[in-house]
Structure 1
Amino acid sequence: MKNRLSFIIKKIKFAPASKMTCRGFSLSRDNTVRFGFWPPKTRRKSFISATGKAIAMLAVIALLTACLEFSLHNAAFADDGSNKPKTDAVSAMLFDARRGQILFKKTSDEKSYTPLASRIMTTLIILEKVDLETMIIASKEAANAEGATLKLTVGEKYSTRNLLTALLLTGSPDAAITLAEYVGGSEEGFVSIMNEYAANLGLSNTRFTNVVGRYDENQYTTIEDMHALMKYALSNSSFNRLFGTQAKPWYDEHKTMVLTNTNNMFWSYPSTDGGATAGYDADFQSIVTTATKNNMRLVCVLLDVPTKSMYNDSIEILNYGFDNFLHGTLVTAGSAQQAITVEGQSLNLIVTSDVYYVHPKGEDYIKDVAINVDQSKLKLPITKNTVVGMLTFILEDDTAINVELYPDREILPQKTKRQILKERFMENRELVYVIIGLIIIELIMGTYKLFNFIKKKIIGFKAKKNYRQMGARGRK
């Protein structure tokens, strides 16, 4: 601001005289010659006063301009939430697929009656309980299910892989019931399994009453539970392969068709690598989309969003994530975190692999770091694969990331003579076996020579004895 004010004063000081006026008196070249540098005494006071006011006013303008620029500069970096994405969905969430870090959310406790949860849960259970190549017979109930899209033939066998693909891509009710009956014996039996899974996953605000997602006021979920369900689902490689399928042909003895994923983000957002949609009517849908960019995979879930805006909202939310967050290294493999002493010997606790996390651009997002050493593990022997502590990072959003700590070297107790001999034997086992073999051969050969020596002696003794006997007979 000081430089700006100096510049303005210089502009006033060196401005052409013909351009400067004060209460009608012009500092023209003629007036300057006529009256000298200063105007007459009668006008000098008013001139000085006016000039001072002009300079003061320009200084104030310069000050206000500098303040305005400073404010605008800071506003560009202020996080007042104005850059957060907008969505017409009742509930929405954006999170990191690897750790589940929540980057954006809207209305976390609102109940949703979306069929999306039942579709994903059914797929997960089947993947964990049935081999994908297993052939399943379609029942009459499944083939005649309301809204059936596959037109299954009663008594016909269909592969689990194809049925799951149809369920996840198109929400086929006949595929869902066929799979449910195979695992649970009936749709009701399978629903019990679904609710058990929900309880085990901690989905406290999720309840299932059917497998096809039919509307029922007693079947519901929340965006928080969808976050936990999707985080678990994406840890399953088989689920990821099915979830990332854009289209697949369906063949059976009676027809051929193409199953196309109902999530159009595959064709409108280049980074999309997974998706599904579900809804009760044409006006409102629920949609889940995963996209990967710059080594960062994000998950966008919208529940009960107007169909006309669900793709634009999904794109806006995903763009917000990729534009404002980075996939960074939290801690590198081999880095020493703490030095400890065990029975007089020192060692370092290290991390054995790189650990990554998602954080806002321009900040590390780490609120606290703690190391907890398990004292019960500090006993000899200590090997490199012994977990002796935990490194915990607490992020600004209270996400906890636990990293196992290992010793950088082994510490073994002092060895006895027997242990030393045993180790040396194990280190030179092949050589020892060769030596033992040679000794055995030498013993065998020595035994053989001794046997021959004894044999010869016996033969010689017998020969002498016979000779003596024959000589005695001759003398008689």
Structure 2
Amino acid sequence: MKKTITVMIVLFSLIANLGANTAAVFAETDGAKTPAITAAPSIVAETGVLIDARTGTVLYNKGMDIQEEPASTTKIITGLLAIEKLPLDKVVTIDAETPFTEGSRIYLMEGEKITVRDLLYALFLESANDAAVALAVEMAGSVDNFAVMMNQKAKELGAENTNFRNPNGLHLEGHVTTARDLAVIAKTAMENPVFRQYVSTYKYTIQPTNKQEEPRYLYNTNRLLYDNKTKVSVNGVLRPAKYDGVVGIKTGYTGQAGGCLVAGAERNGTELIAVVMKSTDSGRFGDSIALLDWGFENYHTVKLVNKGAAAGIIKVSRGAQRQAPLVAKQNGYVTLPVNQTARQIQKVVKTAEKVKAPVQAGQKFGSVDFFRNGELLGSVPVVSGETVEKGGIFSAFSGLDKGAVKIAAGIGTAVAIAAAAVGILLYMRYQNIKRRKLRRQQRALRIAMDREKDKLYYNRENYMNR
């Protein structure tokens, strides 16, 4: 009987624990239960990643750090560098080598004069390899020099497993990157409004040039922007390639790289970037749609801090003013499951207490960190909202607290009183010395006069006795 009771107790405990574990899949949010994240999609691509474009949070990962050839997705960094370094109205004269670039091109001619703006449209829409070379030569003098520039920029952005060797992505041994690195580069590129405008454009016309009598009509190779006719397989279901909310950004395809695509889309304030590499020509579009669908179904971006929001003050010693306001440098976001809200996020402001002048507006002095259940989800830099110059001689006391100021004031008063007392004593001593000197002079005069009187009296006696 005891054995039977023991077994029943054990079974009851197991059932209770099973129920507890099942309930743990859900999280309470505003009185409702949040369903677990749905199963991630299966994609054709050998590697891929899905990130939140605002926070950089990785939502999906399939071999995202495996190096692959990026094909024309390389042009993301080429175009970004051109936008940062060249005026859009600058006229570029095509050299003798650029027209011989292979692959997709707009057939630039030696001596042709064309603006940076038109070359960028050719780069992003038609994926023109000759336009990429023309921009590279204009910026760095040669393709090899530009490759150095590309890799420096990639490292600055945090792309650690990337090695670019040309500006267009044509097959070249050692020209490799990863899905994660492409996502990192794309995230920064899409924060540039000029870049964003180019990659979201469907068609553009380059007007005749000094070497080309006819206009060049350009159409974007990214079917997600416009193509309702072509059907692609998304999790086994045929769907139009056009995707609602798409904002760019760049296609790529070579025989060695396979189908590559960096795709961005925005819905209801949430923007995602999907990267797929080593897929098929049509598979890259279906893969990207599957990842974007899954991301929007399961996650959303929540804004926690507005750019310029007050974040306290910082004391400034030896400054023209005693303190400076602190503000958030940029908007602050976190990525959360769809039914979770900002209520579950703890914001912690960490700043320096005191700093020595001068202080520059925009100078970093801390951060606003976002935590959920002790886990750091993200942060925003906290910077000075004003410039504080060095102060005058009395600014040395500006950074002291009230108690210290009182002590300093007391010491100053005591010193002043002591100095005044010393001054009075010195003055009195001076007056005493002056009076003594005057008395000595008066006494000496009296003695001299008395001697003169004696002398006259003596002479009178002699005169009378003569």
TM category (shorter chain) comes to 0.5 to 0.7
Distance change in 2, residues 1:152/1:204 (3 Å):
same
Distance change in 2, residues 1:367/1:156 (3 Å):
same
Distance change in 2, residues 1:113/1:333 (3 Å):
closer
2:367 alignment partner in structure 1: 390
- Tell me whether 314-323 or 198-207 shows the greater mean CA deviation: 198-207
2:268 alignment partner in structure 1: 294
In the TM superposition, residue 284 of structure 1 has moved relative to its aligned partner by: 2.8
2:78 alignment partner in structure 1: 122
1:360 alignment partner in structure 2: 337
CA distance in 2, matches of 1:150, 1:288: 22
Distance change in 2, residues 1:222/1:406 (3 Å):
same
Whether the 8 Å CA contact 2:49–2:62 is kept in 1: the answer is yes
In the TM superposition, residue 307 of structure 1 has moved relative to its aligned partner by: 2.2
1:318 alignment partner in structure 2: 292
- Give structure 2 stretches of 5+ with no counterpart: 1-14, 27-32, 227-241, 395-466
CA distance in 2, matches of 1:383, 1:92: 42
1:43 alignment partner in structure 2: none
Whether the 8 Å CA contact 2:311–2:382 is kept in 1: the answer is no
- The 3-state SS of whatever aligns with 1:140 is coil
Whether the 8 Å CA contact 1:394–1:401 is kept in 2: the answer is no
Partner AA of 2:333 in structure 1: Y
- Work out the number of aligned pairs and report it: 345
- Tell me whether 92-101 or 239-248 shows the greater mean CA deviation: 92-101
Is 2:232 the partner of 1:273?
no
Partner AA of 2:116 in structure 1: T
Deviations 1:105-124 (A, max 9, x none): 22122111122342112111
In the TM superposition, residue 319 of structure 1 has moved relative to its aligned partner by: 1.5
Is 2:123 the partner of 1:167?
yes
Whether the 8 Å CA contact 2:205–2:216 is kept in 1: the answer is yes
- The 3-state SS of whatever aligns with 1:269 is coil
Distance change in 2, residues 1:323/1:348 (3 Å):
same
The match for 2:353 among 366, 369, 375 is: 375
- The 3-state SS of whatever aligns with 1:328 is strand
Is 2:280 the partner of 1:306?
yes
Distance change in 2, residues 1:392/1:257 (3 Å):
same
Distance change in 2, residues 1:282/1:390 (3 Å):
closer
Whether the 8 Å CA contact 2:350–2:368 is kept in 1: the answer is yes
CA distance in 2, matches of 1:386, 1:277: 39
Whether the 8 Å CA contact 1:94–1:298 is kept in 2: the answer is yes
Whether the 8 Å CA contact 1:388–1:407 is kept in 2: the answer is no
Higher relative contact order (CA 8 A, sep 6+): 2
Partner AA of 1:318 in structure 2: L
> Which has more helix, going by share of residues?
1
- Tell me whether 334-343 or 358-367 shows the greater mean CA deviation: 334-343
In the TM superposition, residue 302 of structure 1 has moved relative to its aligned partner by: 1.1
- The 3-state SS of whatever aligns with 1:108 is coil
CA distance in 2, matches of 1:294, 1:122: 30
Distance change in 2, residues 1:332/1:236 (3 Å):
closer
In the TM superposition, residue 340 of structure 1 has moved relative to its aligned partner by: 9.6
Alignment of 1:324-343 (within 5 A): 324-331=298-305
Is 2:219 the partner of 1:263?
no
CA distance in 1, matches of 2:191, 2:380: 18
Partner AA of 1:393 in structure 2: F
In the TM superposition, residue 316 of structure 1 has moved relative to its aligned partner by: 1.7
Alignment of 1:140-159 (within 5 A): 140-147=96-103, 149-159=105-115
In the TM superposition, residue 322 of structure 1 has moved relative to its aligned partner by: 1.5
CA distance in 1, matches of 2:304, 2:87: 38
CA distance in 2, matches of 1:204, 1:73: 37
CA distance in 1, matches of 2:124, 2:152: 21
Whether the 8 Å CA contact 1:389–1:406 is kept in 2: the answer is no
Deviations 1:236-279 (A, max 9, x none): 22211111111111222322232111110012112112121011
Whether the 8 Å CA contact 1:340–1:346 is kept in 2: the answer is yes
1:241 alignment partner in structure 2: 197
CA distance in 1, matches of 2:166, 2:324: 57
In the TM superposition, residue 341 of structure 1 has moved relative to its aligned partner by: 9.7
Alignment of 1:25-40 (within 5 A): none
CA distance in 1, matches of 2:83, 2:329: 32
In the TM superposition, residue 371 of structure 1 has moved relative to its aligned partner by: 3.2
1:97 alignment partner in structure 2: 53
What TM-score does the superposition give when structure 2 sets the normalisation length?
A: 0.63
Is 2:175 the partner of 1:198?
no
In the TM superposition, residue 351 of structure 1 has moved relative to its aligned partner by: 5.9
CA distance in 2, matches of 1:382, 1:189: 38
Whether the 8 Å CA contact 1:326–1:361 is kept in 2: the answer is yes
CA distance in 2, matches of 1:385, 1:174: 41
Distance change in 2, residues 1:160/1:381 (3 Å):
closer
In the TM superposition, residue 82 of structure 1 has moved relative to its aligned partner by: 4.9
Deviations 1:274-325 (A, max 9, x none): 1210110399311111111112221111111122322222112112222222
% identical aligned pairs: 26
- The 3-state SS of whatever aligns with 2:262 is strand
Partner AA of 2:252 in structure 1: A
CA distance in 2, matches of 1:319, 1:87: 13
- The 3-state SS of whatever aligns with 1:297 is strand
CA distance in 2, matches of 1:163, 1:84: 39
CA distance in 1, matches of 2:203, 2:369: 42
Deviations 1:122-176 (A, max 9, x none): 1112112211111111122111222253122221101111111111122212111
- Tell me whether 215-224 or 147-156 shows the greater mean CA deviation: 147-156
In the TM superposition, residue 222 of structure 1 has moved relative to its aligned partner by: 0.8
CA distance in 2, matches of 1:264, 1:130: 29
Partner AA of 2:218 in structure 1: L
Distance change in 2, residues 1:334/1:181 (3 Å):
closer
Max Rg structure: 1
1:400 alignment partner in structure 2: 378
Distance change in 2, residues 1:201/1:390 (3 Å):
closer
CA distance in 1, matches of 2:110, 2:385: 61
Whether the 8 Å CA contact 2:298–2:337 is kept in 1: the answer is yes
- The 3-state SS of whatever aligns with 1:215 is coil
Partner AA of 2:303 in structure 1: T
CA distance in 2, matches of 1:407, 1:283: 48
CA distance in 1, matches of 2:213, 2:79: 26
Cα RMSD (Å): 4.0
